[in-house]
Structure 1
Amino acid sequence: MLFSARTRWCLLSGIAALTIPAVAQAAPAAAAPAAAAEPASTAEAPAADPAQGLGDIVVTATRRETNLQRTPIAISVIDPTVIKDRHVQSLIDLADGTVPSLRVATFEARQSALTIGIRGIVPFDQNQTARDTGVGVYIDGVYLGRSQGLNAALFDVARLEVLRGPQGTLFGRNTEGGALSIVTKGPSGEFGGRAVAGVGNYGSYNGELHLDLPEVSNVSVKLDGVVQHQDPTVRNPLSGQAGWNQYQRVGGRITALWKPVDGFSAEISYDQAKDENTPFYSQLVSYNPNGYNVGAYNGANVLTFNGAACNVKVNGVTTNPCIAPLSPLVTVSGGNRMSDADIGVPQQVSVDRTHGTAATLKYDVAPHLQLRSITAWRGVTTDQWDNSGGAHRSIFAPNTNFSRYSLSYLRQTQFSQEFQAVGSAEHLDYAVGLYYFTERAREYAATPTTNKWNATGTAYTINDAQTWNMANWLRQRDSNAVAHSYAAFGQATYSPLDVVHITLGGRYTKDKRRGALTMISGVATPYTFTYDNSRFDPMATIAFDAAPNVNLYAKYATGYRAGGANARSSNFGAFGPEAVKSYEVGAKMDLLDRHVRLNLAGYIMDRTGTQIDFDFVDTNPFLADGRTANPNYTKHTENTRNAPGTSRIRGLEADLTVKAAEGLTLGASYAYTYTNVPATPNTLLPGNPLTQVFVVFTPRNAGSAFADYEVPVGSGDMRLRFHLDGNYADPVYSFQNETTRTDKSFVMNGRIALADIPLNDNGQRLTVSLWGRNLLNESYIYRRSAANSSPTVNNDGSLNYGGVLGDYANFNPPRTFGVEGTLNF
């Protein structure tokens, strides 16, 4: 559906109308000041004082420390308490919908590359050398250029800020949907720390050590180490091979903070992490769902039906159409998540290695002016071994190979430099800066088949001729790219009256990129790519303090994602940038003496140049005559086009927190997201027909709710804490050009903790907890494809039934649970 001008106005004004009764109820208390940033406590955070209501939340979305409720941006904050309660160990644990507008999913079935989306800006395939994300991910202000490595273990997190909507002014390119900012805890200068150890089902264990050393000669040092492990949740029957959905993550970081004189600080950090993981299992959930004729192989291995050869072309028309039979070894799982694979395949762990060095300098040149410099070098390497499908994504044919092993070798390095001046004057707050980013990326890939059927599909053997040794790979593609980005930005907030705040900002960006696709299917190719573009992104916001603790705002902002080239295409096909214009109104309210916090936002986003991926994987093992088996045939093609016209995204968001009683806090969040993308020519089909396309991993309705209750136990600060949360999402599309959708999802998580047990008079405390994720063991499909359920179209327009099998899908993780102890000292 399309929204008329009248409907748009009603959508935006409706949010403002909702605030009218809230304004009338607002308590006449003083407006809350911006809270100062302090080292977060290592203890289990207690509930807010019931006499004071809900406490302040500090964010840095405007490059300065501000109170969440007085910052006119739609922001969700995931703090250490939420991380503990939900047992969040890495970003993939947010895929259950902790923040309804934030969508986290795997690329294909791989945990080694994540797709991050906000407000309907969710790229399908950003996992390449010459293309970018639509949502920026940052660690302590440093942008991460690749999807690979995003699922590394989280270090000592102070908070995760989910900035919803375009952030093109202060955060820059590739933040058209928003930004995910990870803020870690820095050195405190005082001796102390935290040690964590836990065990759980599926052989899981985790450990953390965070150690703050006392300040010496104006230098403070903090050490962080983490390890996380889980055995596979789907077992591999092939002896000696890894299963599916297993991981082993380790990492460490050292941070030093130097304060030689008042007003100057230099923080230098180095981190390194390794994530060994395997993909989620791809299951065949239906066979021949459209009811085509099922053939049989004769003694000459020819597929026949009713005694005649199938799929023979006569004058360009496919006659006697039929599909291949199913091997008796293959299980069609339907809606059931498998715990044991039916076919054993070679499966190694994929290995992601991330490392980085950052230096942040801050100098107070005047009482109300601070200069900052953020310099960072980062890199990621990925050795991908993805054999997730077995026989569930390719048909059975006698004596043919099957099970596509997707292998990839990626190396990326990046450097960024940012200068900021952040200051204040009378009635004016401002931030200006310069930014530079460059990266080099190279990837080559192979797709051997690892298994081979016998003549009847009742047994198979293993092929490993080119599987293990990279030197023997028949490279399906080999690409490289170099990118440079330059930017200048500024943003200022002027308050002509105490209750009116006007913010204006802009960012000029210059992007350059060049690259080459040097090999396709083992053959050297001459394809190159260059991109050179500049852009200005403005932002304007007006905020109004309608009453004490009631803040309203209206915002206009733009953002964009840079253009690039598709390394999976047949010619390194280039595509242009996409851009978004956003109109937003919102309200942030602390009501009933700050016992109720209600934040609302409504937005309209119009996107042009939407980057659409048309993907085609041909698993047909037959030659052109439609009868003779070709055991070495495989083809994977992907093209990217910019959709014509305007894509429309509309949404409503609500966040509610209630301090219901002493020790009891309740909360709920909701996101409604409507998306519509114009039909786009599909260059992979004859005649380039206009094809309906969809936004992936974006539910129309999504919601999350939680309840926290704690009671004192004994004397002192010891208490018993209970947490329960539930997260719902409507079905979503997994592919931009498939009408098939996933299941709806509902996941509950919980935790019981006996917190802050005193161990001695020196302040050492112990917290013991029992946690569970997916408590009800709900099983739902989070990614589904019907690409192999219907015939494909040949270049001459005839139908090809050779690859028809059924829908394949990936399921969410099963229930996990464990016990954990945390020692604070």
Structure 2
Amino acid sequence: MYDKIMKSSGSLATACALVLTSAAHAEGDTVATTDTLEEIVVSARMRDEDLRDVPISIVAIGADALAQRGATELKNLGDVVPNVIVGTGNQERRTNLVIRGISTEARSIGQETGVGVYLDGVYTGRAETYNQRLPDIAQVEFLRGPQGTIFGKNTIAGAISLTTLKPSDEVAGSLSLDGGNYGHAEAVGFLSGPLKEGLLFGKIAAYGLTEDGYAKNMFDGSRAGSKLQDGVRVQLRATPSDKLEVNFSADVNRIDGEPYRAEVTRGTFGNEPGAFTFDEAYHSWEHIDYSGAALTVNYALDSGHSLTSITAFRKSQWETYSDETWNGFNHSWAEYEQSSEYTSQELRLASPSGRTLEYVVGLYYSKQDSDTHTPVFIGDGLADILGIPYGWKSFDQRAEVTTDGYAAFANATYHFADRWAATLGGRYTYEQKDLSFQQLDPNGLGFVPAIGPLTDDYSGGEFTPTASLMYSLNPSWNFYATYSSGYKSGGFNVDVLSTADNISFDAERVDNFELGAKAVLFGGRAQANVAVFYMDYKDLQVTQYDPDTFSNYIGNAANASVTGIELDLVAQPTANLNISAGLGLLDASFDRFIDQYGGDLKGNDLPFAPSLSASLATQYSWSINAAIGAFIRLEGAYRDRTYPDVQNDPRNRLESYTLLNARAGLRLGEGWTLEVYARNLTDELYAVNRTTQRPLLSFLPPFAYDETTTTFGAPRTYGVKLTTRF
């Protein structure tokens, strides 16, 4: 299969390499007169290090690069990093994170995703919190592969770490105003500076966003895809002595919208008018609140060691109202409510940097309490057909899951020779989960069986080691070999059930083997990172839908493997030109898996695992006069075809697509920028999710057919943005 992948990707990879190589050689005789790339500093191992010294596949995007891309939320980076997908749907709650072909949407409160999102070292919580806004972000780090040593909260596929700008010693800030089509209006800004000179510093960041819909409801001509979002983050930094730093942060965020969820593209009641049309008698809406607070204390010991304590609390609430039949009849609607609270405490001791032996040791405790209520109602039209009173419920469920997690970890790097460094690490994680569950058939309609009330519990632990060896060939080239492991605890299938026997599932595990190289090229004007990896999964947690019982089932696939290559390149051929590129290759499939129907899925692709993903961006800047500069930026991203389901149903296949973005602007005087932009410049129609199944009303003869629903990615959007920085 890899021969096929290599043939399909060869031309694009060669093009990327030639662009970078030729651009760098073009200025080979004028190195002294051109700018070089800055050192990239990351905190993937809980200390500041040069990215080239860290034996992990990492992509770091700093504040300047975020601004150049116009990224104001994590989803804007969904096509930037190869082998990473941020979002497989248009609802905020559908921010499914996929790294190296491993995805877990985790619609159930009894299941966690395989990717952890961290904000200043704090786990953000459940899926509704993943699409973090970026008003004051210093850097976003994408850590690909299991991070089970230091980032221990279900990071079996990888971690996304966001670091905010600390309150500054001098007054600084920015403000952006953005307006575009589909009623897009956005304001983003922050202000930072001293509150008491030398002792107390503060920062406030805020954003507001409103958008109209780009999809049409054929039922009544209304629009969907609208969103109203706002939030604020406040931070305080105190330095009572040269050894002690105390940071406090708090944030509040709100989202209200009428999302474009999907549309029927195949079925008796398919939407004939075309893309971005749907037919819902009940208007869907979504409401999300998420917030949090964290106290981080750093103390420098006389020995040069640093002691860090992070005490954090986060909470989220998600509510949605949705049409359940998609067919233009008032047959059924649902109301889903889900809330979660997450408390954590972490203690770390880190040795001084730059020593022969560097290490970090720590303890971690977390408590998560989540609950859900999911009633489904009979609409007036179906009530008339069935001859029952209006407003009866066909389904109701109430559940609560409480999780206590404990962990101890250590990671040490020994520089045993001038050019050699070895790293050993390990983490022991233990989780205790308790479930309270009841599934109701409130009016005895027989759509689902009544189950419970019942209680259940789960407990389990795992030691996840890591080991790596790094060799510096010279100051420009580093090579590494890494073994890492990951663990994601089992849980509960808090969803529509056909039987209580399907209430729980087991933990999953992975072993990752990786070879990589990191280099500085052409006198510091180019940086390249490449990784080749093989991941062996055991008991992979997989979600399947049963159309006969309208139930969802989470089980453990026996074995799956992922093999791949990742290449990341950045070049600054001249002071005016910047180029970045990325290439990801994947062969992700089930090695052994008998599904719940007895079907053999060996050899099937894992969901949302493209064989090839690639990105290329170039930005050219120049001066018009002493006060005015200009720039133009072009970006392209390609994603190969994928399947969203484990059965690899050809009716659900998501075809490959290429997205182009463009930005151009003027830099006016000191700190002002005016720019115009377009995303999906060619207005490409592409699907991000697709499902084929029997409709909810398939027990009625007119609806006894297979129906395909498709979610298309956003159409072309464009706008104008004005930014001031000071």
Q: Shared topology, TM-score over 0.5?
A: yes
The verdict on how the C-alpha distance between 1:271 and 1:283 changes in structure 2, with shifts beyond 3 A counting, is: same
1:119-130 aligned at under 5 Å gives the runs 119-123=100-104, 125-130=105-110
TM superposition shift of 1:209: 2.5
User: What is the CA–CA distance in structure 1 between the aligned matches of 2:592 and 2:85, rounded to whole Å?
Assistant: 24
Measured after TM superposition, the shift of residue 476 of structure 1 is 2.7
Q: Which residue of 2 aligns with 1:714?
A: 625
Amino acid at match of 1:420: R
| 1:216 counterpart residue number | 196
One of 621, 626, 650 as aligned partner of 2:563: 650
Deviation at 1:274, TM superposition (A): 0.2
One-letter amino acid of the structure 1 residue matched with residue 82 of structure 2 = P
Q: Give 2:713's aligned residue.
A: 812
Structure 2: distance between partners of 1:141 and 1:71? 18
Determine which structure has more spread, i.e. the larger CA radius of gyration.
1
- Which position in structure 1 is the counterpart of 2:14? none
CA distance in 1, matches of 2:32, 2:715: 37
Correspondence 1:288-299 to 2 at 5 A: none
The Cα shift of 1:768 comes to: 0.8
Residue in structure 2 matched with residue 559 of structure 1 by the alignment: 486
Q: Which structure has greater helix proportion? A: 2
Secondary structure at the aligned position of 2:216 is classed as coil
Matched with 1:69 is: 52
Moved more, 378-387 or 133-142: 378-387
- Distance apart, 1:235 and its partner CA: 2.6
Answer yes or no: is the 8 Å Cα contact 2:378–2:393 preserved in 1: no
Aligned mates of 1:695, 1:449 — CA distance in 2: 36
1:516 aligns with 2:498: no
Identity of aligned residues (%): 26
Alignment counterpart, residue 768 of structure 1, candidates 674, 679, 699: 674
Contact 1:111 1:278 (C-alpha < 8 Å) held by counterparts: no
Q: Which residue number corresponds to residue 588 of structure 1? A: 518
- The answer as to whether partners of 2:373 and 2:398 remain within 8 angstroms in 1 is yes
Mean Cα deviation higher: 72-81 or 536-545 = 72-81
Q: 1:705 to 1:521 in 2, by over 3 A?
A: farther
Q: Report deviation, 1:498.
A: 1.8
Mark the CA change 1:726 to 1:388 in structure 2 (over 3 Å): closer, same or farther: farther
- Residue 166 of structure 1 pairs with residue 146 of structure 2: yes
Cα deviations by residue, 1:361-388 (Å, 9 ceiling, x for unpaired): 0000125210000110000001112338
Deviations 1:40-82 (A, max 9, x none): xxxxxxxx99634211111110101111122221101122233
Instruction: Work out which of the residue numbers 348, 353, 374 in structure 2 matches 1:420.
Output: 348
| 1:433 corresponds to | 362
1:592-649 Cα distance to aligned partner (Å, 9 max, x none): 111222111000000001112121245xxxxxxxxxxxxxxxx5201111112x2111
What SS is found at the alignment partner of 2:96?
strand
> How far apart are residue 790 of structure 1 and its match?
14
Of 469, 474, 486, which residue of structure 2 is paired with 1:542? 469
Correspondence 1:785 to 2:691: yes
Query: Normalising by the residue count of structure 2, what TM-score does the alignment of the two structures yield?
Result: 0.89
Please give the root-mean-square deviation of Cα atoms over the aligned residues, in Å: 3.0
Decide which moves more: 81-90 or 169-178. 81-90
Give the letter aligned to residue 578 of structure 1. Answer: E
Q: How high is the TM-score relative to the length of structure 1?
A: 0.78
Read off the aligned partner of 1:726 and give its amino acid letter.
G
C-alpha distance in structure 2 between counterparts of 1:430 and 1:415, whole Å: 26
Residue 677 of structure 1 aligns to a residue whose secondary structure is strand
Residues 414-454 of structure 1: per-residue CA shift (max 9 Å, x gap):
10000011113741111110001110000011233557389
Shift of 1:781: 1.2
Cα 1:558–1:524, aligned 2, differ >3 Å: closer, same or farther?
closer
8 Å CA contact retained: 1:251, 1:274: yes
Instruction: For residue 755 of structure 1, report the CA deviation from its aligned partner.
Output: 2.1
**Which has the bigger relative contact order, CA under 8 A and spacing at least 6?**
1
Matching residue of 1:231: 212
Deviation at 1:742, TM superposition (A): 0.7
Using the TM superposition, give the Cα deviation of residue 694 of structure 1 relative to its aligned residue in structure 2, in angstroms: 4.1
Which residue number corresponds to residue 376 of structure 1? 312
- The one-character-per-residue Cα deviations of 1:93-144 (angstroms, maximum 9, x if unpaired) are 333x11121112246x532231111112112x41221111101111110012
Distance 1:93 1:450 in 2: 38
Are residues 803 and 738 of structure 1, via their aligned partners in 2, closer, same or farther at CA, if it must alter by over 3 Å?
farther
Q: Equivalent residue of 1:347, what SS?
A: coil
Q: Distance in 2 between matches of 1:243 and 1:49?
A: 56
Tell whether 2:642 aligns with 1:732. yes
Q: Where in structure 1 are there 5+ consecutive unaligned residues?
A: 4-17, 27-47, 288-325, 393-399, 467-471, 619-634, 759-764, 795-799
Q: Write the letter of the residue equivalent to 1:112.
A: R
Q: Say whether 1:268 aligns with 2:248.
A: yes
Shift of 1:756: 4.8
User: Is the 2:88–2:688 Cα contact (8 Å) retained in structure 1?
Assistant: no
Partner of 2:606 in structure 1?
A: 695
Give the Cα–Cα distance (whole angstroms) in 1 for the partners of residues 487 and 255 of structure 2.
31
Counterparts in 2 of 1:427 and 1:756: CA distance versus 1, 3 Å: farther
Counterparts in 2 of 1:790 and 1:213: CA distance versus 1, 3 Å: closer
Paired residues for 1:341-740 under 5 Å: 341=278, 343-366=279-302, 368-387=304-323, 390-391=326-327, 402=331, 404-424=332-352, 426-448=355-377, 450=379, 452=381, 466=391, 475-522=395-442, 523=450, 525-568=452-495, 569-570=497-498, 571=500, 573-617=503-547, 636-644=550-558, 646-683=559-596, 685=597, 688-691=598-601, 694-715=605-626, 718-740=628-650
Between stretches 420-429 and 253-262, larger displacement belongs to: 420-429
Provide the C-alpha distance between the structure 1 equivalents of 2:324 and 2:254, rounded to a whole number of angstroms: 21
1:110 to 91, 115, 127: 91
Alignment of 1:87-106 (within 5 A): 87-95=70-78, 97-106=79-88
CA distances 1:227-271 after superposition (whole Å, capped 9, x unpaired): 1111111133556x9632221110001100010111101000110
Q: CA deviation at 1:352?
A: 0.5
Distance in 2 (alpha carbons) for counterparts of 1:617 and 1:275: 32
1:750 corresponds to: 662
The whole-number CA distance in structure 2 between the counterparts of 1:555 and 1:481 is 36
Residue type matched to 1:337 in 2? A
Q: Which runs of 5+ in 2 are unaligned?
A: 4-16, 26-30, 443-449
Quick check: 2:35–2:574 contact (8 Å CA) kept in 1? Answer: no
Q: What is residue 36 of structure 1 aligned with on the other side?
A: none
The CA distance in 2 between the partners of 1:757 and 1:705, in whole Å, is: 30
2: CA distance, partners of 1:561 / 1:803: 39
